[in-house]
Amino acid sequence: MTTITLEVPDELAAQVAALHGRLPDLLARALKSEPAEKKDRANGAEAAAPLYREITDFLATDPSPEQIVAFKISPAAQERLEELLDKNREEGLTANETAELDAYLQARDLMVFLKANARPEA
């Protein structure tokens, strides 16, 4: 067995010490669960793919600054976003739904940036 030395805050060291000999097993289980988290993120981003398609299709039309400022996502995409936000507030989201919501928020941030740059300077 390999020995690993880590510097951690005293509070964390106390928590680790309380685990006694279970730490190697807990680390192994945590590392095995990581691919599932990556899969959840990929599935969430895949679920948001129609929104990204809307945005890329719109941008492919070479819109004017005015059109960029006026851009709105489709009613279906807006409805899905609202569903995710409501569920997040009320009961919480699955890992896939959290990843999907994150993708929606990243798309929103992109559009906010584009709209801000498309506005005429005052």
Angle, vertex CA 26, rays to CA 25 and CA 31, nearest 5: 100
Contacts 24+ apart (CB under 8 A), 16-23: none
**10-residue mean pLDDT series, the chain (122 residues):** 76 76 73 60 76 92 93 94 95 90 92 89 64
Whether 97 contacts 44, CB under 8 Å: yes
Hey, what are 98's tokens?
């959290």
Hey, what are 24's tokens?
């190697």
Q: At what angle do helices 23-47 and 95-118 cross, to 10 degrees?
A: 50
pTM of the model: 0.61
Domain boundaries, the chain: 35-118
